[in-house]
Amino acid sequence: MESFIGTLIELVVRFQKSTGLAQWVNYHSAAWPIAEILHFMGLCLLIGTVGLLDLRLLGMGKALPVAPLERLIPWGVSGFVICLVTGTMFVTGNAFAPGEYLQNIAFLWKIVFILLAGINVLVFYLTGLARAVDALGPGEDAPPAAKVIAAMSLFLWIGVIYFGRMLPVLGDAF
């Protein structure tokens, strides 16, 4: 699995380097710090909205109906897109050690957790659970399957954050 992900990432990096993104990031001193700020803001949008919905499905804040929380999901998707764009900038713009991310075990695990979180979201929406929980009113419990998906979502996104923070520590990188 790791070799497949590594190959996929290398193809993306090769493509990105051909577009000039790496040169732009490396030659503009403000690009990296701005990307860091945007990356964390995107993460706040993503985890804030998705985490709020997940916690409600797990039974916290039962006084809230679910439908208004689900209307916040586009903000979470926007946060994910921001993280995707800025994360790509980090991977392709690392002039000091090209490929450093690709050889870092924490980065590979971060990508695995992101992919699993994506599959988790697909299961939530493709199985109809999203429609079932959308109808939940104040005080109502989510179906057990929705609780499992919510718990997995929290676990996976916390894993993404953990492995992102472990990039400088695990794998002897940076």
Asked whether the whole model's pTM tops 0.85, one would answer no
Cβ density class 76-95: b for 16+ within 10 Å, e for less: beebbebbeebbbbbbbbbe
Q: How confident is the model at residue 82 (pLDDT cuts 50, 70, 90)?
A: very high
Rounded Cα distance, 27 and 31, in Å:
8
Rounded Cα distance, 25 and 36, in Å:
12
Instruction: Give helix then strand counts, H and E, for the chain.
Output: 8, 0
Rounded Cα distance, 42 and 74, in Å:
12
In sign, the C-alpha dihedral spanning 152, 158, 163, 164 is positive
Residue 116 reports pLDDT greater than 90: yes
Q: How confident is the model at residue 48 (pLDDT cuts 50, 70, 90)?
A: very high
Q: How confident is the model at residue 89 (pLDDT cuts 50, 70, 90)?
A: confident
Smallest CA-to-CA distance from 163 within 95, 109, 93, 126 is with 109
pLDDT at 67: 85
| Dihedral over alpha carbons 156, 159, 164, 170 (to 10 degrees) | -140
